Amino acid sequence: MIDIKISSKDNINELMSSRLEMLKVVNDLPEDYEYSEEIINESRDYFLNGDHLTVLAMDDDVVIGCASMSFIRIMPTFEHPTGKRAHLMNVYTRSEYRRKGIARKMVELLIEKTWEKGASEISLDATTLGRPLYEKMGFTNSTECMVLTKG
């Protein structure tokens, strides 16, 4: 039976293995790819100290999926009077478990908890594979945001 649960710091090993697996798959990296110490250390620090909720999907004691909601606080505006926003990230399910509603259940749990925390908006960066799921859940495209990246 698949169990979907909110993780804690006690799950750091499961969180790290799932995150690194997801990055390999999404970025089409070879199985033997070695991550930089910076990525490993910063990911571990974020899971231990960041403002987020992460859920794990487990099949017995094996992690088969994960999803994270990162929380951001900005100056309050009329559209976002609490200033609390969230960004959905790292929604991942192992290939053999896809198309069974696991990602949807993980995202639904995160959305419920995010609204409970007072956020007024959830954003995400969707892959082509994930876009249909998010559209079915009510996410829409936005043209409100511009981005500057350090380069």
For the chain, which domains are there? Answer: 2-136 (3.40.630.30)
Residue 126 has pLDDT above 90, yes or no: no
Taking a C-beta distance cutoff of 8 angstroms, is the pair 27, 33 a contact? no
Using the predicted structure, report yes or no on whether residue 144 has a pLDDT greater than 80. no
The pLDDT tens digits for 91-104 are: 999 999 999 999 99
143 alpha carbon, distance to own chain's centre = 22
pLDDT at position 84: 93
Name residue 29's amino acid.
L
Q: Can you give the pLDDT at residue 135?
A: 92
Give dist(CA 50, CA 71) in Å, integer: 9
